[in-house]
Chains A and B, each alone.
Chain A
Amino acid sequence: MKKAILKTQDLAIGYKHGRNNDTVVQSHIDLSLNSGEICCMLGPNGSGKSTLIRTLAGFQQSLNGKVILGEKSISHFSAGELAKKISVVLTEQMEPGIMRVFDMVAYGRSPYTGFLGKLNHEDKKAIVEALDKTGISALQTRLFAELSDGEKQKVMIAKSLAQQTQIIILDEPAAFLDFPSKIEIMHLLRKTAWDDNKTVLLSTHDLNLALQFADKLWLMGKGSPMRSGLPEDLILAGHLAKLFDRDKTRFDLNTGNFEYETTHIGNVNVTGQEIEMQWLRRAFARKGYTSNKGDKALAEIHFKDHNYQIKIAGQTYGYETIAETLKKMES
């Protein structure tokens, strides 16, 4: 059963510089996060993603409105209480010194341990479990400083899991990672949300990743109200397209990608259902040859017997690679 965990009420975020001199980044934010869901926040640079994360995590004060956690506003929680409700994974580069992976994950137990930070049986169990879930048990005696970026990110996620909070907030957890690591991290976060009924909020610049893994999207534009909803609903309503609206960039509803507008040269007729034909279409589209049925085609292309056959001005040529086919077209 999903229930609302975190809500914002008429929240305004930004920076205080002094009396009557606030920089408002976003205002009138009314959003909510449920248990068991992973929410991705998308928006251009400078739209206030990090500011919102800092405000939700309690690092900075809101300019107006409230963040409500459970029943009460987060400003009524002490630092110690909040540490048991919300955990964060941040982008900042850390140099903690000579620290082993186990010690880094053990940080997650700080809110629960006594004044010297001694770990009891339960703490150790939580750490081992977190190491196990993130798949880094084998790394636990390694030095944190010697790990790769992807491994470090997993360690900090394990720290968050060991913190045993209902909400996990991550600031661009997939930045700086190679592609397989990105997928791995997102899968891990979704699994955490779904299996353990937690609430995961993360900011990202990776649209594909967000569309693939998010239960909910938060769209944050400059000077426009924030939108929240199922990724597919937001796409069909055109909100995603508006978010990154620039002169030459447009959102392709078919592929779910932002693409740079290329000059249209002409029409080609690409037929066939093989996988090769889809990639052939992409290659031609990149060069400005699109396949719109109806218009007069400059050429007709098939894939047959491991051969790309292109028919230009009545003549048919056969090639083994897309590169050669494209070259013929352009000549």
Chain B
Amino acid sequence: MALIFLAIAILILVLFVMNVVLGSVSIPLIEILKILGGAESQPASWQSIVIDTRLPQAITAVLAGASLGVSGLMMQTLFRNPLAGPSVLGVSSGASLGVALLMLFASVPGVRILTQSQIAGNFSVVIAAFGGAFAVLLLIMLLAARYRSNTTILIIGIMIAYVISAVVGILQFYSFKDDLQAFVIWGLGSFANVSWQQLTFFIPIVILGIFAAVLLIKPMNALLLGNNYASNLGINTRLVSLLIIVVAGILVAAVTAYCGPIAFLGIAIPHLSRNLLKSSNHLIVVPGTILSGIALALLCNLIARLPGFDGALPINAITSIIGAPVVIWVILKSSHYQKSL
């Protein structure tokens, strides 16, 4: 098992370097090392490409992969459902609604605050996404505090997501063409729109969220036996359920705000790591999910930027096209998995 962790860690290192080295402009590795070392590079534009574009993008992929993996795992454990993912609470739909209100509705009176080129690094988009996500998260928390049954909360979360999608659909229907295109592009997700300044918010949120998830490892293990066994093992299941929802919700809100709604990774990563490590024990799966989430996100980002595509491919298309067959292959290959999800 230690070997698998080591292998994933090395893979992450390799993928991270490739994320910085490969791109539409080819820069020799030596020059990149020089730039990272703080030296001046020959064409000055290389410095900007590495420092301001590729490095923050790779770091964003790392943060998003880790967050989505952990929050997906938390949802699957809380709801004892292999199909649960970060989107089941409706939090990412809430973020979409916030962004849709900003991009589509707010611009109707003619105050066009956005054009496509301004999406990158636009602080108001991040604020709108956080606003929408937290509004839904608050609603879910209130319901979770009131209703004990996890299934009830799961169904309500999914229903809220449907209602919000419908509202977003109506907003899209009555919006201008340019606004609509900007919104659709936001919806396809990207790791490329996070600036260094924004990373100074993004990094601490993710670190805090993952730290909280680590504190929940033991209660999450107990929840695998069901609520009654868990409370007989001394776990306050009500409090733990609420904490899981809050922590997973904050992680998803952050990722959606900075990268757009990233589909698929959150559902896939926990399955991938449980399967690779042949365990459902959170003491193993939480670090496993963080590492394999980082690796998968870096891989997807790399493919989206492969020479030839020139960064033209949206990240959401890559995560599903590349990620889904990988997960299917892993699950079919493993006899353990078919017997016990």
Contact = CB atoms under 8 A, between A and B. Distances in A.
Nearest to A90: B228
Interface centre among B221, B232, B339, B340, by most A CB within 10 Å? B232
B34 interface: no
Interface in B151-195: none
Contact of A117 (B217, B229, B232): B217
B236 interface: yes
Contacts of A81: 234
Interface stretch (B198-206, B247-255, B275-283, B292-300): B275-283
Contact of A110 (B222, B226, B336, B337): B222
B234 A98 contact: no
A97 B218 contact: no
Contact of B221 (A57, A94, A98, A117): A117
B341 A116 contact: no
B224 A86 contact: no
Given A86-B232, A143-B340, A146-B339, A98 B278 contact: yes
Contact of B231 (A79, A94, A98, A107): A79
Interface centre among B221, B336, B337, B341, by most A CB within 10 Å? B221
A215 interface: no
Interface residues of B, number: 29
A103 B222 contact: no
Interface string A92-128: 1011111100010001101101011110000000000
Contact of A96 (B215, B280, B283, B337): B280
Nearest to B237: A79
Interface in A171-196: none
Nearest to B340: A145
Interface centre among B226, B280, B341, by most A CB within 10 Å? B280
Contact of A59 (B221, B231, B235): B231
A88 interface: yes
A139 interface: no
Contact of B225 (A80, A94, A98, A116): A94
Contacts of A86: 232
Given A94-B226, A95-B341, A145-B340, A79 B235 contact: yes
Contacts of B222: 107, 110
Given A96-B280, A113-B218, A143 B339 contact: yes
A82 B235 CA distance: 10
B233 interface: yes
B281 A115 contact: no
Contacts of B80: 95
B341 A117 contact: no
A84 B232 CA distance: 9
A92 B215 CA distance: 27
Nearest to A87: B232
A115 B218 contact: yes
Contacts of A143: 336, 339-340
B234 A111 contact: yes
Interface of B: 80, 214-215, 217-218, 221-222, 224-226, 228-229, 231-236, 274, 278-281, 283, 336-337, 339-341
